[in-house]
Chains A and B, each alone.
Chain A
């Protein structure tokens, strides 16, 4: 099932004549992990902001579930259809982890009614990403980077979106946490059937991808697997990929 589709999407900043994205066409299916790669300034973040509904493309169209994003309410789209995991977490620092989740539920008009029920669901969700009850009741300010990232993931999942978009989700994490997070993301795609799109520099991340999409100077480089290209993974990456694949089976 085609979850997201980009048709001839181009983007440039206000007041600039230079296009940062040029005629991108791509399709994203549910149940797969995609990684978007490219050098700094290539346009990865821009692409991310377009598909996450944070911004609007100048030319071309973005389709979600067959519907043109231009005709959808972007706020609702962000609230209900996609879940975004940010590199900088972007959580409410002065609130507790639980509160961040329940607030997200409220914004997305979650079907769970009642404050208590929402809170319990939040605890459960946080538990799933490895945050216990005690940690969940602490203010984000007092959580470690890894814990914060996991809260971010939980928040992205809190309204059960079809599409999960992650911007460098493992950038600030240690190796152990990184693999935890990657495991979760892979599970989301392969077990829960979500469309997971990850923007990344990291080889470890691309190793788990089902499909790799490259952006270079605003242009789409390839829509196919990159596995064989040595520029994107070394010896270790290869093995890691294999390990993950094996575990899944």
Chain B
């Protein structure tokens, strides 16, 4: 349409002023691009962190509160059934259980057991003796969350074997395998200790794992050669395998449960549910809000700063554009008067002005998107990378920090984090949503430039303009 070509010609006629307008528009768009991309990346990280850290439900005994209320005695008990019943919740995305059982085997000897299965344990009142447990059986509901087995972790399944899958499958450590001459495909026969009635576990070894973890939980265990707690003696199997023996109570075993919310915001609803199911009031139900905030605060702080920058540049840039178009309008009043006198409709004149503004905005949009997306990554890296590294380290630390509560001998909730792989870098990219937002802003800027011109010019009658001239 001739309006467009006319608009283009007009733009070229007054290069100086239009270059100024374009420059300001460009500055606004570039800073908007940078801010929005950084903001979106930060939000993603924050949301991701929130879901990973924030979704883990902590069910803890509030020891300080108990101390204050001077409660003594053992921790309130939670039964196996309770654990599983809490897991039946719409609010949870997943639940992870693991159970620890002490085993004895006369055929498979523990690493560090010089007596070869002949040790005995006395009951604390000395009234009875029993065979000492030699092997620690761990039943896990989800092998994927065993953090030791993550890439780069201290343990790894050695070639020729695999992770346990079906019923009665297990994996054992290399040390245990070598000591007893066990290879993949062999069976180990064990019986349970401390559990009534005694259960037999005949497990098929489907994998052998190399183990670089700290063998002993602490120097006291090492000094006393409490070989049961030597981690090389851990035999890992599935939760089903353990539960399939049909234990009625959790007498003699330790059960651990982790719950993950679909949405951390539902924590209070989940708490209400769990209390209704009978959770003892001494337990508190919470999510890692503090840790979450600690990690996300710097990120949102940064995002907040860049938004402030964008907002301010928008305001100032907007003012400059308004003033520029005000000046431009007055210069072109005569031209418009002539056009109108020639019979051009108001709407067409307005369209022409708007077209000029839009052309500038569109050109600046493309250039701005280019510059902005090129600049966004390095800028984001310089500001955010430090924060993300800190965030990654802290969450990694938290996931390794398995805070065990006071051992009540039976049941515990694990307070640490399992299964979290922290983000170690940010990818800043221009997605469709961001491009849409920026395009809107570019259009708004065009509208701003154009509207002033249109408003002033359409107000005047051509006669008046021409008369003023003469």
Q: Is A in direct contact with B (CB under 8 Å) within the complex?
A: no
